[in-house]
Amino acid sequence: MRNIWWSGKESSSHIKRVGWSKLCTPKAISGLGFIDLQAFNLALLSKLAWRMHSSDGSLLFHFLKSKYFPSCSFLNFYCRKSASWVWKGICAAKALVSRSWKWRVVDGSKIDCWTDSWLPDPNSFFVTSPKPGSSSISTVADLINHDLKQWKYDLVVRIFNERDAALIL
């Protein structure tokens, strides 16, 4: 470890400059094991973004919703340039987290049928069918017969292409 900090002979005492990537390298592979604060901060902000997405009953959620996205959902807002640095951090974390999350269909009332990721396909969780212009279908709940607890087969086959219909049914 001495070789990272000091250069030259053992008696020499001037500091050697080392890149941040080398400092953050684990000790097991000749680094110093410092925590990458940027990655750590993004991880904490991602956790906050996930909490805001999954539990909309907190006081923080209601405050931020009223200030930054009063007329849309947490998934569909955009980050304004005039937002605070905390909110911009949450926006960056939401962009990172949203690439990997998908909806689990329970009743389908909160899932936008055309824009949310909800299909069980590892390549693309999104619907690839074009949205019919005259369709009143907006949420996944519109595709479910809630009394029988099953999909409305005829509606799904009529509206979606073959790939999407097969994934849904």
Q: Can you give the pLDDT at residue 28?
A: 87
Measuring CA to CA, how many Å separate 39 from each of 12, 17, 87, 151?
35, 22, 17, 42
**For the residues 10-24, what does the mean pLDDT come to?**
68
Strands 144-145 and 150-151: antiparallel
| Integer Cα distance of 48 and 90 in angstroms | 7
**Please, which residues bridge with residue 156 across strands?**
none
pLDDT at 2 over 60: no
Which residue ranges make up each domain of the chain? 1-34, 37-98, 102-169
pLDDT tens digit string along 78-115? 788 888 888 888 888 888 887 777 778 888 888 888 88
**Please, which residues bridge with residue 6 across strands?**
15
pLDDT tens digit string along 34-46? 888 888 999 999 8
Residues in CB range of 65: below 8 A, 6 or more apart: 56, 74
